[in-house]
């Protein structure tokens, strides 16, 4: 079979056209609201994606394209939801509060959780109990685990798509961080053996920093280690079973192994922090060579009570205005540190659906 991928780790993805300010403003509003109602009479060309990890666990979603922008929105059964998808002939329209909001909408197929890549979760259970996460603890998932063999089957099916460009692997922690990383390393190695040139991203947690090198040796090309929030005192509330210091040390080690611009980390917006807190976190990570990813908090029945108890107040969805303002600051800090979201070939910065992405949306 001819190789579909480049010979180096430099991105060969086509450079997307600049997203207009109007497209970005509309995307930010969709992210603020976060859910859309699709009537039964609307003919959808593909199945919805079902999330098994993070705050969106248990939710189904579709990805929508408009202009040069794209966004992934959870589905709701509430016919009175603020966002509603309509269809006239073959054309899709998103309505906001009863009025036309975005016309000429396209439905983007999600290969396996994300466009153009298979983003696979090896376990839908996690014992870490982070406040924002809706993933159930050990024994609480109906999804269970994804074996290496099954993951390879999913990848092989999606490899046939001409739009398939990357693999990303993550996992909840159903037993121990050590055992989970062994499974991720095994899976990454199996993918690399079958697909020698495919970019492989890993989203993981670490206690033993030697695991990072083992994942690199197995075939991983990019790494995501989530700091989640800033500063330390807020991290300790949100993630009581994780170490702030070890997470930062793991990020530093990952940059040493994978290189600047090949390591990323989520910072969640909406956990009671100030904009100055977010900016401080961005500056700290970019100073290490890490490209942060800003993500608005997702709220639902499975995490609202946990969040209120852990953080001392109920978070609210992040406004479009705040997403845009922080997105612009984020971009400026990246540029000052000679970093870009465009150096990534896997995971969130190539998906571009769930966040305001610097160098793409702003």
Residue 241's pLDDT is 97
CA-to-CA distance for 40 and 23, rounded, in angstroms?
Answer: 27
Confidence category of residue 145, pLDDT binned at 50, 70, 90 = confident
Residue 200's pLDDT is 99
CA-to-CA distance for 348 and 323, rounded, in angstroms?
Answer: 16
Give the CA-trace dihedral at 298, 304, 307, 313, to 10 degrees: 110
Residue 10 predicted with pLDDT over 70: no
The C-alpha angle 212, 203, 11, rounded to 5 degrees, equals: 90
Q: What is the mean pLDDT of residues 32-41?
A: 97
CATH architecture, domain 113-351: Alpha-Beta Barrel (3.20)
**In 3-state terms, what secondary structure has residue 226?**
coil
Question: Structure tokens of 321?
Answer: 């205005």
| pLDDT tens-digit series, residues 61-92 | 999 999 999 999 999 999 999 999 999 888 99
CA-to-CA distance for 334 and 264, rounded, in angstroms?
Answer: 12
Distance of CA 33 to the CA centre of its chain: 18
Complete DSSP assignment for 282-320: HHHHHHHT-EEEEEEPP--TTTHHHHHHHHSS---PPPH
Residue 90's pLDDT is 82
Confidence category of residue 112, pLDDT binned at 50, 70, 90 = confident
Question: Structure tokens of 60?
Answer: 């189904």
Residue 15's pLDDT is 40
CA-to-CA distance for 62 and 64, rounded, in angstroms?
Answer: 7
Residue 8's pLDDT is 26
Contact 28, 324 (CB under 8 A): yes
CA-to-CA distance for 283 and 230, rounded, in angstroms?
Answer: 11
Residue 2's pLDDT is 36
pTM for this model (two decimals): 0.92
Residue 111's pLDDT is 79
Confidence category of residue 238, pLDDT binned at 50, 70, 90 = very high
Q: Where are the domains of the chain?
A: 21-108, 113-351
């Amino acid at each position: 079979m001819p190789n579909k991928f480049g010979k180096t780790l430099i991105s060969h993805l086509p450079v997307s056209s600049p997203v207009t300010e109007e497209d970005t403003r509309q995307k930010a509003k969709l992210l603020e609201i976060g859910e859309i109602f699709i009537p039964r009479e609307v003919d959808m060309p593909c199945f919805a994606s079902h999330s098994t990890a993070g705050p969106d666990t248990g939710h189904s979603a579709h990805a929508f394209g408009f202009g040069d922008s794209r966004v992934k929105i959870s589905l709701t059964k509430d016919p009175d939801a603020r966002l509603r998808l309509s269809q006239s002939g073959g054309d899709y329209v998103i309505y906001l509060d009863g009025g036309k909001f975005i016309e000429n909408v396209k439905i983007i197929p999600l290969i396996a959780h994300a466009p153009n890549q298979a983003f696979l979760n090896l376990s839908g259970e996690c014992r870490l109990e982070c406040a924002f996460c809706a993933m159930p603890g050990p024994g609480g998932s109906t999804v269970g685990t994804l074996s290496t063999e099954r993951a390879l089957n999913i990848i092989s099916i999606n490899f046939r798509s001409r739009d398939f460009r990357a693999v990303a692997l993550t996992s909840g922690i159903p037993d121990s961080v050590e055992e989970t990383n062994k499974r991720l390393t095994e899976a990454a190695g199996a993918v690399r053996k079958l697909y020698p040139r495919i970019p492989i991203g890993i989203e993981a947690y670490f206690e033993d920093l030697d695991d990072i090198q083992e994942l690199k040796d197995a075939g991983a090309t990019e790494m995501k280690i989530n700091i989640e929030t800033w500063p330390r005192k807020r991290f300790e509330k949100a993630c009581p079973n994780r170490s702030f210091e070890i997470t930062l040390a793991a990020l530093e080690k990952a940059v040493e192994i994978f290189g600047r611009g090949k390591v990323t980390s989520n910072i969640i917006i909406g956990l009671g922090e100030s904009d100055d807190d977010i900016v401080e976190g961005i500056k700290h990570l970019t100073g290490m060579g890490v490209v942060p990813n800003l993500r608005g908090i997702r709220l639902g029945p499975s995490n609202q009570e946990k969040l209120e108890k852990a953080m001392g107040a109920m978070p609210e969805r992040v406004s479009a205005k705040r997403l845009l303002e922080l997105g612009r600051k984020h971009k400026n800090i990246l540029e000052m540190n000679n970093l870009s979201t465009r150096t990534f070939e896997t995971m969130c910065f190539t998906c571009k659906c769930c966040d305001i992405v610097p160098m793409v949306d702003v």
